[in-house]
Amino acid sequence: MKYNTCMLNRMGWLVAFVVAACSQSPSNQDAPEEWQPLFNGKDLAGWDIKIAGHPLNDNYKNTFRVDSGIVRVKYDEYDSFRGKFGHLYYNKPLSYYKVRFQYRFMGNQIPGAPGWGALNSGVMVHSQLAASVELNQDFPVSLEAQLLAAPPGEERTTGNICTPGTLVHMGDTLRKEHCINSTSKSYPVGRWVNAVIEVYGDSLVRHIIEGDTVLTYTRPLIGGGFVSPDHDWKDARIDNFQYWLDRENTPLKEGYIALQAESQPVDFRNMELLNLVGCMDKASKKYRPWFVKSDGACRD
C-alpha cells in the first residue's frame, strides 16, 4: 500500500499528538511521595515488644535496642535461647502501604535455638495486634516476609513468604505450604540488603529485593492451621485457638508491621512507610490515581 505525502504528514502529526497526550501526567505525579520514618533513631517509641513467655513490653534481656540509628536484635545478654521468640510491633494498623528498609545479619545464632533459625529473620505484615498475642505464643498470626542470609559457599533466597496462621494465593492456586521461596539472589552475612514490601489490603502483596520483584501473592486469608494443615493452632502455644478457628478463611485486610527476633542477631535501618490510604484525594500529595489502574488497590 502506498501513502502520499499529505497522508504521511497527517499520520506524523497524529502520532506526535498521541505521544504528547500520553506523556501528560496527573498534576501530582511528580510530587514527592510522603515516606515517613518508622523509627526516631534514638529509642523504640511508637513500637511494642512481645517476647514469648513474657508480658507485653517486657524487653527481655534487652533483645531489641537502638544503636546509632540502627534497630538491633541482640542476644549478648542471653546464655541460651530457651524459645524466646520475639517481635517488635509498629503500633498503628495499616492496610494499603509500602514499607522499605535495609537489613543485615551479624554474628552467630544464640545456643539452644532451632537450626532453621540460623541467619533467619523476617518482617511481618498484616500481623495481629501485639496486645492480642498470648503470653506463650511464639509467632503472631501474620504474613512473614522471610529474610535469610547465605552462609559461605551456599545459595539461599530471601524475601520468601511464610504463613503463621495464614494462607495465600498465587495465581488461582491456594498455597498451603508454610514457606514459599522467592526468586531472589543470595546475599552474604554482613551485607546490607535493600527491601520493599508492597501491601494492598487483601488483594495483592509484593516482595522487592534490591529493586527486583521476587515474589507476588494475592488474597491472603486467616487459616491453614498454624504452620501447615498438619499442625493445628495449639502448636503455636495459642490457648484461645478457637478464636482463630472461627475466623478461618476470613480475608486478611489489615494489620500491623512487626520485626522478628528468631535467635539470630540482625540489624534494621532506614525503615520508612508510605501510607497509600487516601491516594485518591486530589488535594493530597498522596494522590496517585494510577495505583488503581495498575493494582486495583487504592483506597480513599
Kind of pairing between the strands at 212-222 and 204-209: antiparallel
Beta carbons of 117 and 179 less than 8 angstroms apart = no
* φ and ψ of 99, to 5 deg: -125, 130
The chain-wide mean pLDDT, for the chain, equals 86
What is the pLDDT, as a whole number, of residue 221?
96
What is the pLDDT, as a whole number, of residue 229?
64
* CATH 3.40.960.10 is the classification of domain 36-276: no
Over residues 17-22, the mean pLDDT reads 36
Tell me which of 295 and 51 has the higher pLDDT: 51
pLDDT tens, residue by residue, 202-213: 999 999 999 999
The cell 508510605 sits on which residue? Answer: 274
Beta carbons of 156 and 120 less than 8 angstroms apart = no
pLDDT tens, residue by residue, 113-166: 999 999 999 999 999 999 999 999 999 999 999 999 999 999 999 999 999 999
pLDDT at 55 over 70: yes
pLDDT at 73 over 70: yes
3-state secondary structure 28-74: CCCCCCCCEECCCCCCCCCEEEEECCCCCCCCHHHCEEEECCEEEEC
Beta bridge mates, 200 = 96, 204
Stated pTM of the model: 0.84
pLDDT at 282 over 60: no
What is the pLDDT, as a whole number, of residue 236?
78
pLDDT at 278 over 60: yes
Alpha-carbon span 298 to 286, nearest angstrom: 11
Cβ neighbors of 165 (< 8 A, separation 6 or more) are 139, 140, 141, 142, 222, 223, 224, 225, 226, 233, 236, 244
Residue 289 cell numbers, joined: 490515581
CA 123 from centroid of its chain's CA atoms: 5
What is the pLDDT, as a whole number, of residue 279?
62
pLDDT at 111 over 50: yes
Lowest mean pLDDT among 91-105, 106-120, 175-189, 226-240: 226-240
Beta carbons of 290 and 276 less than 8 angstroms apart = no
Q: Largest Cα–Cα distance in the chain?
A: 86
What is the pLDDT, as a whole number, of residue 20?
39
